[in-house]
Amino acid sequence: MALARRLREALDKREFELHFQPIHRLSDDRVVAVEALLRWRQHDGGYVPPDVFVPLAEASGLILPIGQWVLEEAARSHGRLAGRGLDHVAIAVNVSAVQLLTEGLSEAIVGLQRKYGLPAGALHVELTESVVLRRPQAARVGMLQLRAAGVRISIDDFGTGFSSMAYLRDLPLDCLKIDRSFVRQVHADERNASICRALIALARGLGLGTIAEGVESAEELEWLRRNGCEQAQGYHLGRPVPLERLLDSIGGPG
């Protein structure tokens, strides 16, 4: 069966899973958030990577029901975190342009916050540059509604697309995620070091937080800490894992 057809049935067949990757605060190494990453499990136990099926879901409009499932699963998972004394750990959800630009995203989130008794700030949203660049005015409206619902907004993969300083200045953002291509070997690669230093300074000047992505070594992590990056995620700190395994690693008693 074609991928698009199977994707349509995947929600009903409960083939989606969320995996969670820890985000560490560098001042004290504590896990302050986790990024929810969507996984599509196949009958043979393998996974179709999101780079393959998310674009397909976006093109077909299926990203709306799938995105709603992701939000609900994230909200439910936050309840599980809270049950283990981890209610201070936020869950960051990736949101597609189609979702942001469709009426009702913030209402859906408010509904989930009520249903699962989430504190404001329990859910964060990650947007990519392409979202805001395509329709900045409409994106701005959607972002203000999210903000009003207590949702922090990060700009994902920053610096890889057609990064515009104007939107960093004008849009209601909270945090800039430094793309992993700039983090690679940052302690040894002078060009990447220059870019990371500039991005950290830019974020600080604009009052935005910084999260470095794709940290794969202790050397990269130390460089980022010394150079004022606030938070980091990557295989060196923890891979994306199902909730149960996340709780085993950071979950405390209970």
Binding site for Mn ion (CB under 5 A): 94, 126, 156
User: What is the C-alpha separation between 94 and 74, in angstroms, rounded?
Assistant: 11
User: What is the C-alpha separation between 156 and 158, in angstroms, rounded?
Assistant: 5
Q: Which is nearer to Mn ion, 78 or 180 (CB)?
A: 180
Binding status of residue 157 toward Na ion by CB under 5 A: yes
Which residue has its beta carbon closest to Na ion?
157
Alpha helices in 84-189 (DSSP H): 97-101, 105-115, 129-134, 136-148, 165-170, 180-183
95 within 8 A of 105, measured Cβ to Cβ: yes
Rule CB under 6 A: choose which of 142, 159, 234, 251 binds ligand G.
234
Binding status of residue 46 toward ligand G by CB under 6 A: no
User: What is the C-alpha separation between 37 and 18, in angstroms, rounded?
Assistant: 6
User: What is the C-alpha separation between 165 and 167, in angstroms, rounded?
Assistant: 6
Binding status of residue 54 toward ligand G by CB under 6 A: yes
| Tokens matching residue 12 | 């009903």
User: What is the C-alpha separation between 53 and 13, in angstroms, rounded?
Assistant: 16
Closest by CA to 116, choosing from 134, 91, 135, is 91
CB of 213 to Na ion, least distance (A): 5
Binding site partner of 220, from Mn ion, ligand G, Na ion, none, Cβ cut-off 5-8 A by kind: none
The 168-207 site mask, x for binding Na ion (CB under 5 A), equals ----------------------------------------
Rule CB under 6 A: choose which of 100, 131, 180, 220 binds ligand G.
180
CB of 31 to ligand G, least distance (A): 14
User: What is the C-alpha separation between 89 and 251, in angstroms, rounded?
Assistant: 11
Tokens 């910084």 -> residue: 210
Q: Which is nearer to ligand G, 70 or 109 (CB)?
A: 70
Binding site partner of 70, from Na ion, ligand G, Mn ion, none, Cβ cut-off 5-8 A by kind: ligand G
Rule CB under 6 A: choose which of 72, 174, 216, 219 binds ligand G.
216
91 within 8 A of 33, measured Cβ to Cβ: yes
- The footprint of ligand G (CB under 6 A) covers 21, 37-38, 49-51, 54, 70, 94, 96, 156-157, 180, 213-216, 234-235, 240
